[in-house]
Chain A
Amino acid sequence: AQSVTQPDIHITVSEGASLELRCNYSYGATPYLFWYVQSPGQGLQLLLKYFSGDTLVQGIKGFEAEFKRSQSSFNLRKPSVHWSDAAEYFCAVVVYNQGGKLIFGQGTELSVKP
């Protein structure tokens, strides 16, 4: 069965430091991968997506992610974190032959120290 694993439940970084959030997926076919961000009490906002092509994808708010098929990973990165980046981050894979529904990871909560 398809699954997404985010190994880190909670990460704290200092403002201005670099960030990497890990995501591993289990999916038999070519994965279509997403990162979403959720602020407290809010819905999900798409940060970036990978469908095909260049394995390094750029997103909004200065985020990028790299797809590595050999490692079944799609890690999210940002070179310099801002206090406003504190939120919950979700990695997801779309199940193409099952109506396009998303399978989400458990999420990683990001805290930013001043």
Chain B
Amino acid sequence: DTGVSQDPRHKITKRGQNVTFRCDPISEHNRLYWYRQTLGQGPEFLTYFQNEAQLEKSRLLSDRFSAERPKGSFSTLEIQRTEQGDSAMYLCASSTWTGITEAFFGQGTRLTVV
């Protein structure tokens, strides 16, 4: 068990460019979550998957954001036409779903839009 892995750890991009982040959850976890954290704030829920199905999207997830989990394993989060307001830490978490269990977080991807 290597934990939740996110790649890249840091990304600097110019405004208007597209970026994609990857998350590899703990292997036996069937739930995967994406959160966004801005400076001085707690993480905010963006979306989650159960296996390959995306079951909920927050209203924070504008049309420029898309997430996939094609085979129920790793997930990608893409942001199109990045804006400065997208600068944040993007956190991925995974959990099993046998009742209530805790979520395990990755190290996050720090996005800076210049």
CB distance from A50 to the nearest CB of B (A): 10
Within 8 A of A (CB), among B67-114: 91, 93, 95, 97, 100-108, 110
| CB-based contact A42/B108 at 8 Å | yes
Is A90 interfacial (CB 8 A cutoff)?
Answer: yes
How many Å lie between the Cα of A96 and that of B107 in the bound state? 25
B101's nearest neighbour on chain A, judged by CB, is: A100
| CB-based contact A106/B102 at 8 Å | no
Is B50 interfacial (CB 8 A cutoff)?
Answer: yes
Number of interface residues of B (CB under 8 A): 29
CB distance from B7 to the nearest CB of A (A): 13
Residues of A contacting B4 with CB < 8 Å? 43
| CB-based contact A44/B110 at 8 Å | no
The digit string for A23-66, where 1 denotes a CB below 8 A from any CB of B, is 00000000010101000011111100101000000000000000
| CB-based contact B33/A32 at 8 Å | no
B96's nearest neighbour on chain A, judged by CB, is: A100
- 19 A-B Cβ contacts within 8 A? A41-B110, A42-B107, A42-B108, A43-B6, A45-B105, A46-B104, A51-B100, A90-B43, A94-B100, A96-B100, A98-B56, A100-B33, A100-B48, A101-B45, A102-B33, A102-B43, A104-B44, A107-B40, A107-B41
Query: What are the 4 closest A-B residue pairs judged by CB atoms, nearest first?
Result: A104-B42, A43-B105, A44-B105, A43-B107
